[in-house]
Amino acid sequence: MFFSDHTKKVSKRSLPSDSHLMPQVPRGNYFHFQEEKQRLQLKKFLLHRLFLVAKITANIEKKDLAHYYEQVFQSILKHHLGEAVTGVLLMYPTYILHILESSSGTLYRILLDYVDHETKEREYFIQGMKIIVVSHNIPTRIFMQWQVSTIKVPVMYLDDVTQSQSLEEVITEFLTQTHKLALYLFKTVKVSSKGPGDNLHQVAPELLLPEQIIKYLCKSEEFMDPKTFLDMYNKPIHVTLDSEVVWPAPSQF
């Protein structure tokens, strides 16, 4: 009996030492996988792509709008860590199409800059901005730099396609055309050059969206303005369970 009890005590004491001999399997998660992927691609932050449309304020010089955005990008990168901004700004006679690629913090501050001007009721370059698409964690950039093009000559169309197409069809055309335009700029525009400049409507008119589509999307209520988007972005995620609002807590039989 004594031998049996002693054996049990010894076996219990030996369990902790045996557990240390078990091989420790390293465990990762999806976040660490994405961090390692970004490190191998020489990127410090995850990249995102933002599609914006807005109306140009009357009597505003388009060159001043382009210069202002350049200053905003430089100021953000100077005071906050983040990825450089790439993309394209297409300035039509009365509307703009703006595609931006950068880290989430940089894009957040670009939108915040617009909201600050809108809430303070100052005369700003653009108004009525809408966010059409946000692409999160894009694998790579499709724009090698940020470039500007002024569409001086409006392209003439026989009919207004927005009158005969649904919103889904208009969005499909919007994304298709912008993707084709991005591939064209990727293949033709050299890094550190000024881009296509103001001749884009001459060299590739078939790749440009009609201004009427941008106007249609800008006035559509289905898309968020930057203030609504940022309010949702800053809203803490908290799910209230039924058991938290009912007292006493329900018990199961």
For residue 232, the model assigns a pLDDT of 87
Handedness of CA 182, 184, 185, 190 (dihedral sign): positive
List the beta bridge partners of residue 252: none
Cβ atoms 135, 178 nearer than 8 A: no
**Averaged confidence pLDDT in the chain:** 80
Split at pLDDT 50, 70, 90, the class of 152 is confident
Is the backbone peptide bond immediately before 248 cis, with ω within 30 degrees of 0?
A: yes
pLDDT over threshold 60, residue 249:
no
For residue 251, the model assigns a pLDDT of 57
List the beta bridge partners of residue 150: 91
In the chain, the percentage of residues whose pLDDT exceeds 90 is 47
Q: Round to the nearest angstrom and report the end-to-end CA distance of the chain.
A: 46
Q: Which residue has the higher pLDDT, 200 or 172?
A: 172
Cβ atoms 152, 198 nearer than 8 A: yes
Contacts for 225 with CB less than 8 Å, ≥ 6 apart: 128, 129, 130, 131
Q: What does the block give as tokens for 95?
A: 């509307």
Tell me the whole-structure pTM to 2 decimals: 0.74
Return the ∠ at Cα 152 (arms to 146 and 154), rounded to 5°.
115
Dist CA 95 CA 180 (whole Å): 20
* Domains of the chain listed by start with CATH number: 44-230 (3.30.70.100)
What is the average pLDDT across 53-78?
93
Is the backbone peptide bond immediately before 210 cis, with ω within 30 degrees of 0?
A: no
Dist CA 115 CA 8 (whole Å): 72
Highest mean predicted confidence (pLDDT) among 67-81, 121-135, 195-209: 67-81
For residue 56, the model assigns a pLDDT of 95
| DSSP H or E segment with residue 32 | helix 30-40
Distances (CA, A) of 108 to 66, 132, 215: 19, 15, 24
- In this structure, of 52-56, 210-214, 225-229, 249-253, the range with the lowest mean pLDDT score is 249-253
In the chain, the percentage of residues whose pLDDT exceeds 70 is 69
For residue 221, the model assigns a pLDDT of 92
Highest mean predicted confidence (pLDDT) among 68-77, 111-120, 150-159, 234-243: 68-77
With tokens 């595609």, the residue in question is 99
pLDDT tens, residue by residue, 96-117: 999 999 999 999 999 999 999 8
Q: Which residue has the higher pLDDT, 163 or 214?
A: 214
What is the average pLDDT across 148-163?
68
The whole-angstrom distance between residue 2's C-alpha and the CA centroid of its chain comes to 72
What is the average pLDDT across 77-86?
91
What is the average pLDDT across 115-138?
88
Return the amino acid letter for 185.
L
For residue 10, the model assigns a pLDDT of 47
Dist CA 67 CA 237 (whole Å): 38
Q: What does the block give as tokens for 138?
A: 């894009």
Q: Which residue has the higher pLDDT, 206 or 245?
A: 206
For residue 2, the model assigns a pLDDT of 45
Dist CA 186 CA 93 (whole Å): 25
Dist CA 167 CA 171 (whole Å): 6
What is the average pLDDT across 128-141?
93
What is the average pLDDT across 171-181?
93
Split at pLDDT 50, 70, 90, the class of 3 is very low
